[in-house]
Amino acid sequence: MIVAVMQGAAGVLHDAVAISLLPSLVEGALIQRSNSRTGALFSVASTVGSHLGAALTALLGPARALLDDVASYLVSAVCTFRIQTAEPAPERPESRRLREEIVEGLRFVRGDDRLWTLTLVNATTSFALSLLNALWALYLLRSLAMSATVFGVVLGLGTLGAAAGALIAPALASRYGPGPMMLTALAITPLTQLPLLLAFPGPA
């Protein structure tokens, strides 16, 4: 549990600074395309990682497979360290406190209807998906009696949809607009979970 908390906290920090670094790596006109490609690459990596993790778990056991996961993070850290770009110097106001900055940020977001709506949507969606993912893991492993290997394969196949969505997102946004595209995605998401409710133990 301690390792999971530390990894989760580090992951939040990593994702925040990764998003902040992207504008200094590409031109402003390429940010949307770069975000899409980054999301697609992440989904592909998740797919490959899930399948590889399932195979390694079956061949080496969970503990040794986890060591390979640690090695992958070290490789990622080395690759990240090799990025050469001029980062803008961060502004460090001396008289500001973290609490004041949080309050100011919340006021700014609350003052913009679009930002406020997107914040509420992302918060509720992330909360619901976090609960859902935890319950699905219990459901698949206990109720449907999946092995750890099959579970890894199922997770890997699921991320293929995320990769496809990330690749076609720019084209759909330019044709239909980001608003309708987000509403459609939110409407489809619950429907994709329904077939799993009809599943039963066994290969079928």
Q: pLDDT at position 166, please?
A: 76
Q: What percent of the chain has pLDDT over 70?
A: 96
Question: Is 25 within the bounds of a domain?
Answer: no
- pLDDT for the residue numbered 155: 74
Amino acid at site 49: G
Span 59-74, pLDDT tens digits: 888 788 888 888 888 9
Is residue 26 assigned to a domain? no
Task: For residue range 38-47, list pLDDT tens digits in order.
Answer: 877 777 777 6
* Structural domain of 64: 31-83+113-197
Taking the CA atoms of the chain, what radius of gyration do you get in angstroms? 20
Count of structural domains within the chain:
1
Encoded amino acid at 78, one letter: V
d(CA 96, CA 197): 51
Cα–Cα nearest to 118, from 167, 179, 191? 179
Of 173, 170, 176, residue with least CA distance to 34: 170
- Residue 104: inside a domain: no
Q: Mark residue 61 as left, alpha or beta (left: phi above 0; alpha: psi -120 to 50; beta: remaining).
A: left
Q: According to the model, what pLDDT value does residue 190 have?
A: 83
Q: What is the pLDDT of residue 35?
A: 80
Q: Mean pLDDT across the stretch 11-24?
A: 82
pLDDT for the residue numbered 16: 80
Q: What is the pLDDT of residue 93?
A: 63
Whether 92 is in a domain gets the answer: no
15 belongs to a structural domain: no
From CA 3, how far away is CA 14, in angstroms rounded?
Answer: 16
In-domain check, residue 88: no
Q: Return the pLDDT at 94.
A: 66
Q: Is the pTM of this model over 0.85?
A: no
4 belongs to a structural domain: no
The region, left, alpha or beta by phi > 0 then psi within -120 to 50, assigned to residue 58 is: alpha
pLDDT tens column, 113-164: 888 888 888 888 888 878 887 788 888 888 888 887 787 777 777 777 777 8
Is 58 domain-assigned? Answer: yes
What is the per-residue pLDDT for 198? 84
What is the mean pLDDT of the segment spanning 76-105?
A: 79
Contact 85, 25 (CB under 8 A): yes
